[in-house]
Amino acid sequence: MLKVGTLAPNFSLFAKPDHKINLTDYKEKRVVLVFYPADWSPVCGDQVTLYNEVLPFFQKHNAEIIGISVDGKWCHQAFSQERNLHFPLLADFEPKGEVARMYKVYDEIEGTALRTLYVIDEFGIIRWNYLSPADSNPGADGILTALEELDNSTCILPQASN
Amino acid sequence: MSLKPLVSDMDHIQGEANAIIELVEYGDYQCPYCGMAYPVIKNIQKKFGKELKFVFRNFPLSKIHPHAKLAALAAEAADKQERFWAMHDIIFENQKNLSNSSLIAYANELGLDIFQFKTDMEDETLVKKIESDFESGLRSGVNGTPSFFVNGEKYNEYWDENNLGNFISKKILSTAW
């Protein structure tokens, strides 16, 4: 995992078959970055489904959420439609896992991203991170607590963010 | 993870107030897994009798279960006429039919005052109660439905009758002695 306090590396990945998203598109917003192994986990209470319901709570803290897995954009599109998701899923597909590697959460054996959460502040600095144990859905409490702490902390502008 | 806030008289509680075991479910009336858990919980309640009280909190995943919130409202509205658990049961027993008209039919079947029931279904305070249940679930570490808490601690094993039953039996032994 990348350490708290480091600048979150930028990336540009497909969110829809014809549309890419950059991390830098989220200026003046906080970003909850969710790396997860794969679409189509077999339970209805899975991680992305839960976060889809928690969106209004994240937005109260000026945060948007982005999911990233190594699945391709067409797979994401089908999964998103099936789960009625209201946040983007990015395809870390070509080169496979490149962004997961940049964020030091790539599982070389499985060939997927490790289930990891990052909270990035308005200045692009990682302010909280969490690596979830295998097969365990980390829920939303840690993210909400991190966002509340950001609300209460005085912002320190990064010295060299460019 | 532990339960926040703790069970209070704001909750729907079935069983003896001073039972040794307090089993809390965060559930969604349209979730098929919660539907599977429903008879499991009935049997667990039968097995442990007065040793166990059961609490149900709402955790509707509305984006995938469009009727979940409406069904939760129906149970809360029935509570206004002291029939929460009767409505809770009838909903889980008829999970595939949770349209507005079905819910009203169930209210009718339970002998509720239908005019009052319909009025209560529109009651903002009931909507708020469901939302506050949901938020308490998030803060307690609920990560899907159903999620269970035994004596305030999240239960992370599979919740079939054997596993959950054994866990509770052990808890009773360790608490009683």
From the candidate CATH numbers 3.40.30.10, 3.30.342.10, 3.30.70.1350, 3.40.718.10, the one assigned to the domain spanning B12-176 = 3.40.30.10
Average pLDDT for chain A: 92
Residue A133: pLDDT band with limits 50, 70, 90: confident
Cα separation values, B136 from A119, B29, B58, B87, Å: 21, 17, 10, 23
Q: Is A44 a catalytic residue?
A: yes
Confidence (pLDDT) at A162 = 42
Out of B64, B138, B141, whose CB is closest to A57?
A: B138
CB contact under 8 A, A45 and B31: yes
Residue B112 and residue B91: Cα distance in Å, rounded?
15
CB contact under 8 A, A141 and B63: no
In the set A44, A109, A156, A160, the catalytic residue is A44
Q: What residues 56-75 of chain B have any CB closer than 8 A to a CB of chain A? A: 61-65
A154 or A95, higher pLDDT: A95
- The answer on pLDDT for A122 being more than 90 is yes
Residue A161: pLDDT band with limits 50, 70, 90: very low
- The answer on pLDDT for B135 being more than 70 is yes
Tell me the nearest-neighbour CA distance from B137 into chain A, angstroms.
9
Confidence (pLDDT) at A156 = 57
Mean pLDDT computed over B79-97: 98
Within chain B, where are the H helices? 32-48, 68-79, 84-93, 100-109, 114-121, 124-140, 161-176
- The answer on pLDDT for B24 being more than 60 is yes
| Single pTM value for the model | 0.88
Domain ranges of chain B: 12-176
Confidence (pLDDT) at A154 = 65
**pLDDT tens digit string along B91-129?**
999 999 999 999 999 999 999 999 999 999 999 999 999
Regarding an ipTM greater than 0.90, the answer is: no
Residue with tokens 């559930």: B27
Confidence (pLDDT) at A136 = 84
| Kind plus residue range of the DSSP H or E element containing A89 | strand A89-91
**pLDDT tens digit string along A11-45?**
999 999 999 999 999 989 999 999 999 998 765 56
CB contacts, 8 Å: A53 with chain B = 61-63, 134
Out of B65, B134, B139, whose CB is closest to A141?
A: B139
Q: CB–CB of B65/B31 below 8 Å?
A: yes
Cα separation values, B137 from A6, A9, A41, A50, B102, Å: 32, 33, 21, 11, 28
Q: Which of A119, A118, A140 is nearest to A46 (CA)?
A: A140
Spell out the domains of chain A, with CATH numbers in brackets. 12-19+28-152 (3.40.30.10)
**What is the chain A residue with the closest CA to B63?**
A84
Out of B1, B31, B143, whose CB is closest to A50?
A: B143
